[in-house]
């Protein structure tokens, strides 16, 4: 007998049918002799619909009120799920994030979990009940206001709760069979991975793979908590996210593929600052200005300055949603720094290749670039880590690039990946 935390995403509980299916799955785990705590997302596209509603009321919703609104989505699904379980003859108690002791920072819309004090969850489990917790939300203890963790944050709630409860495993149920070598919605021949390391999963999640929330993987790694990503529509074994691949340390296991997967991201834009004086302190001034606005940047490229002019161009990528703000604040320092102009481009896509085997296998970059060239793609920016290569290409070329890289690294399999439900929205 163990303690299992199960998380069900929005597409798994999209309607009454889905809620009932998930309820019987939870009850089956309970009947197998485990204690079960469940984290649930809002039904289907509820969060998007609530966001649309807010937008119809005001172009700039207040952060506190928006969080109040969005947390309602998870409250609906948790209560209905508890009722569905009750109908199967088992006791379930639902809890909001704040009732479950999820304590966060105060930043509305992207709060971070500081601590989880799951006293009421432990009590429910000890009473033999199934605990259902609303995902993606918590409370800040200074303001006493409810917060949300950012889109897709229920994964992080589940892992944080599992860590606090010292659970044996955190099962993340989704609409695909596990973590794939590429998004199966784009590459139907993508292969399901049996296991992937925290390190590789972090790089994939940071590169746009949406199967797991980035912070949930960071959390799991910190607490060395195994995550089992699997489908709520089948009983198939999914993908284990663990410290090392079974049978060898990451990277030096000969059986292990060199490449874990190909990720893509269409959410970034590129800003180029043209004609920047090549002087000490200029880059620092530019990026401090961006940082002060709480904007995260990703890739940066600076060219050598032309000898005749002493001017250079600096390009960087950032979330599209921060594009307007970044352009505005850079214009404010244009006179002070003395650059020529700013170019904004939101038609870019990021393509990333991730694999721990890159460390020990030369030639990965060459193969990657050659396959992109063969597919007719032009590379605009490049960045690397020890186990990742990312390039910026035209957004319209992105899917072609994903398929080309997937094939070039022999990742294709014959049977088509099954994608259940989910609009991918």
Q: Is 154 helix (H, G, I), strand (E, B) or coil?
A: helix
Q: Binding segment for ligand ASP among 152-160, 167-175, 239-247, 255-263 (CB under 6 A)?
A: 152-160
Which residues face 389 on adjacent strands?
353, 384
- Per CB under 6 A, does 71 bind ligand ASP? no
Q: In terms of CB distance, is 42 or 225 closer to ligand ASP? A: 42
Q: Count other C-beta atoms under 10 Å from residue 276's C-beta.
A: 22
136 binds, among ligand ASP, Mg ion, none (CB under 5 to 8 A by kind): ligand ASP
Q: In terms of CB distance, is 211 or 353 closer to ligand ASP? A: 211
- Per CB under 6 A, does 147 bind ligand ASP? no
Q: In terms of CB distance, is 98 or 154 closer to ligand ASP? A: 154
Total residues belonging to the chain: 425
The answer to whether 24 and 180 are in contact (CB under 8 A) is: no
Nearest distance from residue 73's CB to Mg ion, in Å?
A: 8
Q: Is 178 helix (H, G, I), strand (E, B) or coil?
A: coil
Q: In terms of CB distance, is 116 or 364 closer to ligand ASP? A: 116
Provide the terminal-to-terminal Cα distance of the chain, rounded to the nearest Å: 37
Nearest distance from residue 10's CB to Mg ion, in Å?
A: 4
Nearest distance from residue 68's CB to Mg ion, in Å?
A: 18
Measured over all CA atoms, what is the biggest interatomic distance in the chain, rounded to whole angstroms?
A: 80
Interface residue with ligand ASP, options 154, 174, 189, 312 (CB under 6 A): 154
Q: In terms of CB distance, is 41 or 140 closer to ligand ASP? A: 41
- Per CB under 6 A, does 77 bind ligand ASP? no
> How many CA atoms does the CB half-sphere of 297 hold within 13 Å?
22
Q: In terms of CB distance, is 42 or 125 closer to ligand ASP? A: 42
**3-state DSSP of 48-110:** HHHHHHHHHHCCCCCHHHHHHHHHHHHHHHHHHHHHHHHHCCCCEEEECCCCCCEEECCCCCC
The answer to whether 197 and 242 are in contact (CB under 8 A) is: yes
139 binds, among ligand ASP, Mg ion, none (CB under 5 to 8 A by kind): none
The answer to whether 421 and 43 are in contact (CB under 8 A) is: no
Nearest distance from residue 343's CB to ligand ASP, in Å?
A: 32
Tokens of 390: 């990312």
Nearest distance from residue 45's CB to Mg ion, in Å?
A: 8
Q: In terms of CB distance, is 37 or 408 closer to ligand ASP? A: 37
CA 168 to chain centre: 23
Give the integer Cα–Cα distance in Å for 2 and 6.
Answer: 13
Q: Count other C-beta atoms under 10 Å from residue 405's C-beta.
A: 28
- Per CB under 6 A, does 355 bind ligand ASP? no
Nearest distance from residue 49's CB to ligand ASP, in Å?
A: 10
- Per CB under 6 A, does 135 bind ligand ASP? yes
Nearest distance from residue 155's CB to ligand ASP, in Å?
A: 6
Q: In terms of CB distance, is 136 or 240 closer to ligand ASP? A: 136
Q: Provide the binding-site residues for Mg ion, judged by CB under 5 A.
A: 10, 41
Nearest distance from residue 15's CB to Mg ion, in Å?
A: 14
Q: By CB under 6 A, what part of segment 23-42 binds ligand ASP?
A: 41-42
Torsion angles phi and psi, residue 116, rounded to 5: -125, 125
Buried b / exposed e over 284-320, threshold 16 CB at 10 Å, is eebeebbeeeebebbbebeeebeeeeebbbbbbbbee
- Per CB under 6 A, does 73 bind ligand ASP? yes
The answer to whether 219 and 266 are in contact (CB under 8 A) is: no
Nearest distance from residue 341's CB to ligand ASP, in Å?
A: 37
Q: In terms of CB distance, is 80 or 392 closer to Mg ion? A: 80
Point out which residues bind ligand ASP (CB under 6 A).
9-10, 41-42, 47, 73, 135-136, 151-154
């Amino acid at each position: 007998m163990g303690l299992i935390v199960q998380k069900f995403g929005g597409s798994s509980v999209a309607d009454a049918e889905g809620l009932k299916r998930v309820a019987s799955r939870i009850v089956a785990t309970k009947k197998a002799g485990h204690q079960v705590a469940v984290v649930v997302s809002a039904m289907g596209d509820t969060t998007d619909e609530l966001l649309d509603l807010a937008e119809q009321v005001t172009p700039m919703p207040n952060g506190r009120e928006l969080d109040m609104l969005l947390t309602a989505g998870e409250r609906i699904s948790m209560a209905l799920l508890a009722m569905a379980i009750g109908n199967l003859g088992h006791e379930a108690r639902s809890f909001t994030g704040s009732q479950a002791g999820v304590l966060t920072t105060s930043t509305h819309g992207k709060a971070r979990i500081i601590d989880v004090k799951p006293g009421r969850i432990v009590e429910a489990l000890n009473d033999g009940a199934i605990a259902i917790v609303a995902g993606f939300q918590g409370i800040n203890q200074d303001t006493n206001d409810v917060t949300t963790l950012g889109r897709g944050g229920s994964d992080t709630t589940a892992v944080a709760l599992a860590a606090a409860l010292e659970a044996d495993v955190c099962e993340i149920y989704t609409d695909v069979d596990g973590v794939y070598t590429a998004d199966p919605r784009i590459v139907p021949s993508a292969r399901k991975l049996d296991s992937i390391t925290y390190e590789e999963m972090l790089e994939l999640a940071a590169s746009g793979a949406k199967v797991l929330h980035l912070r949930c993987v960071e959390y799991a790694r910190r607490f060395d908590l195994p995550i089992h990503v699997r489908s709520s529509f089948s009983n198939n074994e999914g993908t284990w996210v663990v410290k090392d691949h079974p049978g060898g340390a990451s990277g030096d296991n000969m059986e292990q593929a060199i490449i874990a997967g190909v990720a893509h991201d269409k959410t970034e834009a590129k800003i180029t600052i043209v004609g920047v004086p090549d002087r000490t302190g200029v880059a620092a001034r530019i990026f401090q200005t961006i940082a002060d606005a709480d904007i995260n940047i990703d890739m940066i490229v600076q060219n050598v300055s032309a000898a005749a002019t002493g001017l250079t161009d600096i390009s960087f990528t950032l979330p599209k949603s921060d594009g307007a703000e970044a352009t505005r604040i850079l214009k404010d320092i244009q006179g002070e720094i003395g650059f020529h102009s700013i170019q904004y481009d939101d038609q870019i896509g990021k393509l990333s290749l991730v694999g721990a085997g890159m460390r020990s296998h030369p030639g990965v970059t060459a193969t990657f670039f050659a396959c992109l060239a063969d597919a007719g793609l032009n590379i605009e920016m490049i960045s690397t880590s020890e186990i990742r290569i990312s390039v910026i290409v035209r957004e319209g070329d992105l899917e072609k690039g994903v398929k080309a890289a997937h094939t070039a690294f022999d990742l294709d399999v014959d049977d088509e990946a099954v994608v259940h439900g989910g609009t991918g929205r």
